[in-house]
Amino acid sequence: MTWLVAGLGNPGSHYAGNRHNLGYRAVDELADRAGERFRKARFIPADVAEIRHAGERVFLAKAHSYMNESGPAIASLARKHRVDPEQLIVIHDEIDLAFLALRVKFGGSTAGHNGVRSVASAMRTPDFFRVRLGVGRPAGRKDAADWVLEDFPKRDAAAVAELVNVGADAGLSIISDGLDATQERFNRAGPR
């Protein structure tokens, strides 16, 4: 069976440290662990790396478009590699989860996340796996769009790196262990 793990984010070094780029960072982590490099996909605006996990072929993907328009590239990769929606895992930031919380789910609402909405629209179904990495909501009246496009404070670097690592692990766990076991092992609330 072939799987596709898509990390959501925005392209370019300007966005690399943003809260919105946790998905990109998680698939980068998976490629690094396997000693693989991302390469430009042919005829699709995305970078792709191929790894193996639990005997399965796994494509890692980062769309070249901005997050809110990433769905068409991810859907094109899924069609190209004959990946059914049930074998798609999307890793993304989530403002509706406390900072450092993690939730794994299958299908359901996009919870207002425009990147997930774009993927669901392009795939013509919301029925795919999501690994949701909590970034929390901004304090006061700060706009949520501005919040997710800010870098994490330097003091949070180690905690964010750990969240990225655990999010990457959760993505692989879906493939090898299934949804229930992955939720049991990885779902967690943020620090109190």
Whether 20 sits among the annotated catalytic residues: the reply is: yes
Contacts from 149-152 at CB under 8 Å and sequence distance 24+? 149/10, 149/15, 149/18, 149/19, 149/20, 150/18, 150/19, 151/17, 151/18, 151/19, 152/17, 152/19
Tokens (6 digits) for 172: 């692989």
CA distances in angstroms from 113 to 93, 109, 148, listed in the order given: 9, 9, 11
Catalytic residue among 14, 20, 92, 113: 20
Distance between CA 139 and CA 131 in Å, rounded? 24
Paired tokens of 73: 């590239």
Treating both helix axes as pointing N-terminal to C-terminal, what angle do 22-34 and 157-177 enclose, rounded to 10 degrees? 70
Catalytic residues: 20
